[in-house]
Structure 1
Amino acid sequence: MKVRKTMLRGVGATLGVGALAWLVVGGGVSAAPVPPVGGSAMAAVADEGPGYAVEDFGYPDADKILAERGITLKRGDGHIVLADCASATDLLEVWSRANDKICFRVTGTTGYLSLEIPAVFAVKGNSYSAKVDMTTGPEEKQFDVNKNAWTPVGESADEQGRDFMLMEIRTAK
């Protein structure tokens, strides 16, 4: 009889704890009620936490550069950046009838930049090996840029003298 009484107490205690847990977890009873502040319940801290930082490799201040200089800088790896042509030597120079001279500083062992510069006709290389991808209408062309020398590209290298848009620059040390 004593064993049976002890078993019943154990089962009853287990059921009681289970029912209490079900009420708390299931939302029947709040374990720690949140007092109202200014007439509304406080928001959970997790709802107000910072979001995730996701790198999209978009070019910083691209909208401002487009508005001021008419150059569309899309995305890259950060190793080819727009530079003031008077700021340094060993810059990659892009010549365009629409934008005159545009310079880029190249760092690292490799670099990539996606952009749009219309009416490009020449590129002056720096100490890096470089390739530029250009388009005219549906046609795409790639040009190897000579190190530390002028390379005719786009309309100056085209038999028909068509306008070309610079689309990508890739560099390697």
Structure 2
Amino acid sequence: MRRRVLTSVLAAGALSGVVATALVAGQPDSSEEKLRLSSVADEGPGYAVEDFAYPQADKILAEQGILLKRGDGHIVLAQCGSSPDLLEIYVRHENTDKFCFRTTGPSGYLSLELPAVYGVRTTEYATELSTTVDGEDHQYDVAANSWAPVGETADPEGREHVLVEIVTSS
């Protein structure tokens, strides 16, 4: 029995010596080799970090005149008339009288800049809109499946409001 234990210990010791030699031999000898290996590692792909920026925002701004900034992906710009259940934001705009948004999920968030807002028609989602005018912030809580004046039609002075945020919840 002692012989087996002794043989096992000697075999384990020899194996650890081989592993240690292989590890030492595998280390780069020169500083150039170390630099090359670290450079290859540095060239690898970086980490993906979600910044929630709206995809193709520059193109949409150039083509449609609406600046879409950030969101959670549950409120997206849609072609008006493409579906009966779109959130409609009414505006005084040179190319259109409204912008439409598809809402999904139990809640949604979108920050944007849309000038000359005057009304909203909601879908099955309750909607909170934030506007700004002359440095003042205004909040509008609009019930689901309704139409409401927002911005300049709700402003006693009729000032031009910029829509800066949409939040929806079911």
Secondary structure in structure 2 of the residue aligned to 1:119: strand
Amino acid at match of 1:139: E
Instruction: Give the number of the structure whose residues are more often helix, by fraction.
Output: 2
Aligned length: 143
Amino acid in structure 1 at the alignment position of 2:53: G
Q: Does 1:117 align with 2:114?
A: yes
Q: Larger radius of gyration, structure 1 or 2?
A: 1
Matched, 1:172 2:169: yes
Paired with 1:102 and 1:59, the residues of 2 have a C-alpha distance of 16
Q: Confirm or deny: 8 A CA contact 1:133 1:166 kept in the other structure.
A: yes
- TM normalised by structure 2 equals 0.77
Aligned equivalent of 1:48: 43
Superposition CA RMSD, Å: 2.5
Equivalent residue in structure 2 for 1:103, among 100, 111, 120: 100
Residue 92, structure 1, aligned to residue 100, structure 2: no
Partner Cα separation in structure 2 for residue 104 and residue 66 of structure 1 = 15
1:44, distance to aligned residue in structure 2 (A): 3.7
Spell out structure 1 runs of 4+ moving beyond 3 A. 31-34, 41-44
Q: Distance in 1 between matches of 2:160 and 2:151?
A: 7
Deviation at residue 31 of structure 1 after TM alignment? 8.8
Report sequence identity in percent. 56
CA distance in 1 between partners of 2:77 and 2:71 (Å): 11
2:166 is paired with a residue whose SS is strand
Q: Mark the runs of 5 or more structure 1 residues left unpaired by the alignment.
A: 1-20, 35-40
Q: d(CA) in 1 for partners of 2:31 and 2:62?
A: 57
1:103-152 Cα offsets, whole Å, 9 max, x none, are 00000111100000000000001100111000101111101123222100
- Shift, 1:43, TM fit: 8.1
The residue that corresponds to 1:73 in the other structure is 68
- Match for residue 7 of structure 1? none
